[in-house]
Amino acid sequence: MNPGTLIAGDFMSLLATHKLAPVPIVPASTAPVQTQATTVFAFEFAEGVLMAGDRRATAGNVIVTDRVDKVIEIDATSLLAIAGVPATAFEMARVLQTSFEYYRRSQLQPLSLPAKVRALARLLRENLPMTMQGVGVVAPLFAGLDQTVSPAKPQIYFYDPLGAQFQSVDYVASGSGSGTIRSVLSFQEQYGSPRPSQMKLGEAVKFALRLLMVASEFDSATGGVNPATQTYATIKLLRSSGVESITDQQQSGFLKI
């Protein structure tokens, strides 16, 4: 696409027209120790999609903080979960938020789900030079509403750091603790009762918290959940009606059920 050509409603084309990169790329021969944010996952439950992440960020063997929110509401019908370098991922989230809102206001209608999915893939591809240098790597998850069916159906997508996009059927995970979480999700889906896709809200939230507890036992970069220290997860739901957040207080209550 010619950078000088502005496509109506395309915020990233507007940035290109003014020679503004959505994710600045600064090559370097040596890179500092990066802050990393892990672990995130999403799965279908009886009422929609649950997306969750622990709150730990690390830099090498140092715990930077246990207060990072890795699941971000992009708009009223879209969620982004970040795994990788938070500085890059948060910038991508801000660009997506602005891009979706810019399209909605300029075209008087929301962006379609396929277009939203491609918008994130485009940002990841534009981040390729940083990814190839081993810095700024992001492997996000995305959930959005397919409004071409009635009622609107939540869909889950995952990406590799190069921008390839894939649609998940039931569940997906990303980050350093994802192997453990995928294993437990797979077991529960095949042999458990209820399966994640059959769980009601309380069961789904409790299951998500326990997934992070298990992952933290095998992965030091996963913060896990610890009610004794009031350390909980970031959990958001995507239903046909839109996005909803599960507070720490609600999580504490569900754990006691």
**Which of the residues 30, 35, 38, 229 is marked catalytic?**
38
d(CA 122, CA 9): 16
Phi, psi of 138 (to 5 degrees): -135, 135
Q: Which of 243, 151, 241, 257 is nearest to 204 (CA)?
A: 257
Q: φ, ψ for residue 155 (rounded to 5)?
A: -125, 145
pLDDT at 159: 96
Given a contact cutoff of 8 angstroms between Cβ atoms, the answer to whether 47 and 229 are in contact is no
- 38 catalytic residue (yes or no): yes
Domain boundaries along the sequence of the chain:
34-255
CB 36 within 8 A of CB 221: yes
The answer to whether 146 and 12 are in contact (CB under 8 A) is no
Domain 34-255 homologous superfamily, CATH: Aminohydrolase, N-terminal nucleophile (Ntn) domain (3.60.20.10)
Per-residue tens of pLDDT for the chain, all 257 residues: 454 455 667 777 777 777 776 665 555 555 556 677 689 999 999 999 999 999 999 988 898 999 999 999 999 999 999 999 999 999 999 999 999 999 999 999 999 999 999 999 999 999 988 888 878 899 999 999 999 999 999 999 999 999 999 998 899 999 999 999 999 999 999 999 999 999 999 999 999 999 999 999 999 999 999 998 899 999 999 999 999 999 999 999 999 87
| Token pair for 106 | 């300029």
Q: Coil, strand, or helix at residue 172? A: strand
